[in-house]
Amino acid sequence: KQEVTQIPAALSVPEGENLVLNCSFTDSAIYNLQWFRQDPGKGLTSLLLIQSSQREQTSGRLNASLDKSSGRSTLYIAASQPGDSATYLCAVPNSGYALNFGKGTSLLVTP
Amino acid sequence: EAGVAQSPRYKIIEKRQSVAFWCNPISGHATLYWYQQILGQGPKLLIQFQNNGVVDDSQLPKDRFSAERLKGVDSTLKIQPAKLEDSAVYLCASSHYVGRTRSDTQYFGPGTRLTVL
């Protein structure tokens, strides 16, 4: 059974810092890996999807990497802003494409 | 393109009562998912539909939870009777079906927050 773990559980940084969120998974036979953002009281917004054949994906100040062999992914956020404050979730699909999620990293960026 | 719609947004009920949630996926999305997210946890799959057929309901507590997707579009998730531990956010998601060799991005609705007293 696929287990997804995210470290740290919570993170507080001052505005402008670069930061890294970590995600690990136990079964390396994955189709892809997704990073989501969740704001309080809101649904999930997909940030980046990395296919199993890719090593990384970039969108604006976000960069996600994938190392299937070691079962790890990182989400790098450059020049953090208070608007980046949210919970970040990583997820990998099972054989039927439903997602297995980690518990998330709660990020607070202070002005 | 309109997103995934869910209603109601909030619901408060007493234990042992019943409740139903509604989801309208993005037009043309064949796959629909219901997830349960308990506070402080990541979402957990309850049931997955492909058109109007069930693909995976292995984690659905079938003694109290039921779901249907009539005509392969809208879906309803029901809980009867509710327990205190059912307090959670219920998320609906949809995606294109692109075949067995590749999966596609899932788009999530805003969720329904259920409180069972």
Confidence tier at A43 by pLDDT (50, 70, 90): confident
B61: three-class secondary structure by DSSP: coil
Predicted confidence at residue A42, as pLDDT, reads 82
Query: Given this model, what pLDDT does residue A20 score?
Result: 96
pLDDT at B102: 53
Q: How many CB pairs under 8 A join A and B?
A: 57
Q: What pLDDT band is residue B54 in, cutting at 50, 70 and 90?
A: very high
What confidence tens digit (pLDDT) does each residue in A48-105 have?
999 888 999 999 999 999 999 999 999 999 999 999 999 999 999 887 778 999 999 9
The pLDDT value recorded for residue A28 is 87
Q: Confirm if B89 and B35 have CB atoms less than 8 A apart.
A: no
Average pLDDT, chain B: 91
pLDDT per position as a tens digit, B59-96 = 999 999 999 998 889 999 999 999 999 999 999 999 88
Nearest beta carbon to residue A43 from set B41, B55, B110: B110
What was the pLDDT predicted at B83?
Answer: 97
Query: Own/partner pairs for A79-85, CB < 8 Å, 24+ apart?
Result: A79/A16, A79/A17, A79/A18, A80/A13, A80/A15, A80/A16, A80/A17, A80/A18, A80/A19, A80/A107, A80/A109, A81/A15, A81/A109, A82/A15, A82/A109, A82/A110, A82/A111, A83/A109, A84/A109, A85/A109
pLDDT (0 to 100) of residue B100: 53
Percent of chain B with pLDDT over 70: 93
Contact A97 B95 (CB under 8 A): yes
B101 has pLDDT over 60:
no
Nearest C-alpha neighbor of A38 from the set B94, B114, B37: B37
Chain A residue numbers with beta carbons less than 8 Å from the beta carbon of B109 are 43
